[in-house]
Amino acid sequence: MSLPSRVQLIDVGPRDGLQNEKQPVPASVKIELVHRLQAAGLTEIEVTSFVSPKWVPQMADNAEVMNGIQRQAGVRYSVLTPNAQGFEAARLTKPDEIVVFGAASEAFSQKNINCSIAESIERFAPVVQAALTAGIAVRGAMSCTVGCPYEGDIAPERVAYLAGLMKQIGVQRVDVADTIGAGTPLKVQKAIEATLPYFDVDHICGHFHDTYGQALANTLASLQMGVWNFQSSVAGLGGCPYAKGATGNVSTEDVVYMLHGMGIATGIDLDKLVDAGAFISDFLGRKPNSNVAKAILNKRAG
Ligand code: HMG
Ligand code: MG
């Protein structure tokens, strides 16, 4: 078994993590979180989304957050853009990468972005072209690649269908997302297998929510297939407002601890990362949703 020697992590905490928070989080706190993540060695950060503020009020300060970040050389800042309106607003803030986001499940596509899979692709195509022309990288998030809150299990053929469409419109890399965190390792491997005819392994990212506590196992199963790009959320923040009951992404702290323990490099300073997680958790008035963060904080206290 040969595993990657290095893993690239994208922290999606400021976006996926905070989008579901009911309490207001000021832009200044989001900006500070981004600063702390980059100080901890994260070189990819998903900062915010340019979606309708009526649908996701927490992301209404998208431009303020993007414009408030003191950018660090070598860090890639990405944002979600569901349509041309979102892209036009996003481009003014100079993201390095935009993310169009579709779903392998029709029902989730309707609930999340108010259109069918086919319609979403029609909307994404001009956005992808405009971004590439402007020299902005393009990622495609594929939600519900193993399970859907409305349709239940999702067949790998549905993932293949979406991956093929993403490739056709020029998306450069894709996220294989377990939106509701219900996947188990073999199911996740099947979703990745279904994506591989369209995107090589270097252009596939794992994006695993941890609702059922399977995300680390799913990460290991993906590593075994050669996947070396993963998304995670500091302090395990988050969830999708249109996937009821789904909790946050696997915490970045837990992933980094596992990878370092396996001798896989991430470039991340775990102690500084734990500090970043403690910062946002303190603000939210709760403990980090990360076993590793809790263990390290307890050890420091004791
Ligand atoms: P819609 O209502 O069908 O859009 O929403 P519309 O084009 O008919 O426009 C209706 C109104 O929305 C208009 O305003 C537009 O101006 C406005 P009004 O005239 O009523 O005042 N509007 C916008 N405003 C700001 N930015 C925009 C924008 N577009 C339209 N970009 C839409 C369609 C996609 C906008 C809506 O469904 C939406 O915003 N959805 C948000 C979904 C979302 O953010 N979900 C969470 C992120 S995805 C996720 O978490 C999953 C992921 O993590 C992977 C995984 O885990 O699976 C990525
Ligand atoms: Mg997500």
Q: Tens digit of pLDDT per residue, the chain (302 long)?
A: 689 999 999 999 999 999 999 999 999 999 999 999 999 999 999 999 999 999 999 999 999 999 999 999 999 999 999 999 999 999 999 999 999 999 999 999 999 999 999 999 999 999 999 999 999 999 999 999 999 999 999 999 999 999 999 999 999 999 999 999 999 999 999 999 999 999 999 999 999 999 999 999 999 999 999 999 999 999 999 877 788 888 999 999 999 999 999 999 999 999 999 999 999 999 999 999 999 999 999 999 99
Pick from 209, 255, 207: nearest CA to 78: 207
- The verdict on residue 32 lying in a domain is yes
Whether ligand 1 lies within 6 angstroms of the CB of 98 is answered as no
At residue 1, the pLDDT reads: 64
Considering every ligand atom, which ligand is closest to the CA of 142? Answer: 1
β-pairing, 147-148 with 152-153?
Answer: antiparallel
How far is the C-alpha of 78 from the C-alpha of 136, rounded, in Å?
Answer: 10
At residue 185, the pLDDT reads: 98
Whether ligand 1 lies within 6 angstroms of the CB of 208 is answered as no
- The verdict on residue 84 lying in a domain is yes
How far is the C-alpha of 114 from the C-alpha of 204, rounded, in Å?
Answer: 26
Question: Which atom of ligand 1 has the smallest separation from the CA of 108?
Answer: 57
Residue 109 sits in a domain whose CATH number is: 3.20.20.70
Question: Which pair of structure tokens corresponds to residue 176?
Answer: 């294989």
Find the 278 Cα to ligand 2 centroid distance in Å.
21
At residue 224, the pLDDT reads: 98
| Residue 197 CB neighbours (<10 A) | 11
Ligand 1: residue whose CA is nearest its atom 53: 16
Find the 279 Cα to ligand 2 centroid distance in Å.
21
Find the 51 Cα to ligand 1 centroid distance in Å.
4
At residue 148, the pLDDT reads: 97
Considering every ligand atom, which ligand is closest to the CA of 241? Answer: 1
What is the per-residue burial (b if ≥16 Cβ within 10 Å, else e) of 99-113? bbbbbbbbebbbbbb
Our mutation pick for probing the ligand 1 site, out of 15, 19, 51, counting the most ligand atoms within 8 A of Cβ, is 51
Find the 240 Cα to ligand 2 centroid distance in Å.
6
Q: How many domains does the chain have?
A: 1
Question: What are the residue numbers of the active site?
Answer: 240
Structural domain including 100 reads 8-301
- The verdict on residue 29 lying in a domain is yes
- The verdict on residue 2 lying in a domain is no
At residue 154, the pLDDT reads: 98
How far is the C-alpha of 120 from the C-alpha of 80, rounded, in Å?
Answer: 14
